[in-house]
Structure 1
């Protein structure tokens, strides 16, 4: 048996590439997003009562991997990218049906959209379903989470070069939250786990909105070297 499902909407976020996106969303991500419903969804009726819930589950598709193969065994980043475990014991994006789920905080309900906080999805991600977060049922005391039992810590102090700081001041006029987003993403050390807590000569970049953030990392500090606005292709 097979089933065809269609998106109820798409979510638009500050993230346009996978590298650097906070994992697991709520509790780790401070990024906001807007879920815009498809024209055939009567959002006013479909979302009646949703404002009474503080958080929502979003069921989405890892759409950038939709045409890529999946494997029974994967290498979770939290295990350093070296140890293999079963795909169903992970939250890998390379899955049989390419579905993901995230908890987000509901900020506002619009006419045809929902504004949420704590997103961990690439901008344009298709949303297949929305469910209210039920506190007594969805939060389980003393649950065991194997290799992901504890939340990752922000391990790096973030500093800006003079050049980056000057550009940041201008960009803050356009994106009021860009400073907080850059600090949060880079401080968490988005590199693979096997490279973390090590000095590294490589210059990395993460894209937030339309800005490429170029940075290097010492053992305990990240230096934001430059901020480059990416022109539309």
Structure 2
């Protein structure tokens, strides 16, 4: 038996590449996003009453992974990227049906778009459903979570080169929350897990909105080297 799913819209976020996306949404991300609804959705009727809920579940498609299929065993970053476990014992994006879920903070409607915060989704990700978060039902006080029981602590401190600091001021005119977003993203160390306990001389590049920044990691410090607009 097969079923088809028609997205109800898509979400716009600062994340234009998968490399920079925080791994667990609201618990680790400060990024905001807005949901643009498809024409077949009656916004006034379908979202009536949603303002009563402080948080929402977003169900979405890992659209950039769908063509690659799924893996029965994956390497979770929290296990160092080396140990394999079953895909259903993980939150890997390589799943049989490519469906993800994430809790976000509800910031309300702005015009015809729903504003949310704490996103961990690539910009233009298809949204297939929205459900209210119910604290009494969705929060289980005595739940256990295997290898991901505790929220990870940010492993890196952050500094900016003189050049990057000067350019950051200019870009903040367009993106007031940019400094906070860069701190939030880089402090969690977006590099592959196997890089995190080795000497690493590589310069990395990360895209947020329509800008790109270069950075390197020395010991427990990430230094932003430069910031510049993405040329299209």
On whether the aligned pair clears a TM of 0.5, the verdict is yes
Partner of 1:106: 106
Task: With the length of structure 2 as denominator, give the TM-score of the two structures.
Answer: 0.97
Contact kept in structure 2, 1:43 and 1:111, CA below 8 Å: no
State the 1:87 CA deviation: 0.6
User: Which sits farther off after the overlay, 98-107 or 153-162?
Assistant: 153-162
Which residue of structure 1 lines up, in the alignment, with residue 2 of structure 2? 2
Q: Which residue of 1 aligns with 2:81?
A: 81
After TM superposition, list the pairs within 5 Å mapping 1:137-216 onto structure 2. 137-216=137-216
TM superposition shift of 1:197? 4.8
What are the residue-to-residue correspondences of 1:4-23 with 2, within 5 Å? 4-23=4-23
Structure 2 counterparts to residues 18-57 of structure 1, below 5 A: 18-57=18-57
Question: Does residue 120 of structure 2 align to residue 120 of structure 1?
Answer: yes
CA distance in 1, matches of 2:44, 2:198: 51
RMSD of equivalent CA atoms:
1.0
Whole-angstrom CA distance in 2 between matches of 1:143 and 1:219: 35
Name structure 1 gaps, 5 residues minimum. Answer: none
Deviations 1:66-98 (A, max 9, x none): 111212111111111111111111111111000
Output the CA distance in 2 between the equivalents of 1:180 and 1:41.
34
Give the match for residue 97 of structure 1.
Answer: 97
4+ long deviations beyond 4 Å: none
State the Cα distance separating 1:5 from its structure 2 match: 0.7
Q: CA deviation at 1:156?
A: 1.3
Tell me if the contact between 1:198 and 1:218 (Cα under 8 Å) persists in the aligned partners.
Answer: no
